[in-house]
Chains A and B, each alone.
Chain A
């Protein structure tokens, strides 16, 4: 059963506008969340993360929002740039136990120049 879900397989956004990527999770034990960016035939690269004690974390053009009651997080990219075109994976972990990451299925973002 998929514990981390990204229900939008793809998203297209105009350059300069905001990109919003969404992620839902089912396991209430998850307390740390990460976003990775992946280009074809390459390994994912870490983008930004958030702990469950926060509801927002910002790093330059990237902001992650966490809504624990809804078990939902989102990644905002503003302004979007063509180089942001990639597949974005959200991941979650429970810091007790093995501390493994559970990944969503990814959202392919295309930023149109």
Chain B
């Protein structure tokens, strides 16, 4: 059954700690994306990757880092430099030049 998985569903971060959110897809999609959703706001693009070993900053990349070592995996690290990390994080993927992105179930990050 193809799809996008994100783990964990909930994640707690302590002050000064880096945390990594997992995103895996078995759709054989080329492009992958990370978005952040805050209450009452739309989805804002953090980072995206169109091919393996390449990624680009989105609109709100500060305080985040990514890697794309495998086609199916696009982990997001929320670093201690991100001063307001509490949000709902969504991973998405897209095939080739198709416009439609398909989303994972999301990870909610909370700060202790």
- Chain A residues at the B interface, C-beta cutoff of 8 Å: 2, 4, 6, 9, 32, 34, 36, 41-46, 49, 89, 93, 95, 98-101, 103-106
- Chain B residues at the A interface, C-beta cutoff of 8 Å: 4, 6, 31, 33, 35, 40-45, 48, 50, 56, 58, 88, 90, 92, 94, 97, 99-106, 108
Interface centre among B33, B48, B99 (most CB of A within 10 A): B99
Known: A98-B48, A99-B99. A42 touches B42 (CB 8 A): no
Whether the Cβ atoms of B42 and A49 lie closer than 8 Å is no
Interface centre among A49, A95, A99, A104 (most CB of B within 10 A): A99
Whether the Cβ atoms of A101 and B101 lie closer than 8 Å is yes
Known: A41-B106, A41-B108, A42-B106. A103 touches B43 (CB 8 A): yes
Q: How far is the CB of B109 from chain A (nearest CB, A)?
A: 13
Whether the Cβ atoms of A49 and B90 lie closer than 8 Å is no
8 more contacts with CB within 8 A, not counting A42-B106, A43-B90, are A34-B100, A36-B103, A41-B88, A43-B92, A45-B103, A95-B97, A98-B50, A103-B44
* In the complex, chain A residues whose CB is within 8 Å of the CB of B44: 103
| Residue ID in chain B nearest A92 by CB atoms | B99
Contacting A100 at CB < 8 Å: which of B45, B88, B104, B108?
B45
Q: CA separation between A44 and B100, bound complex, in Å?
A: 12
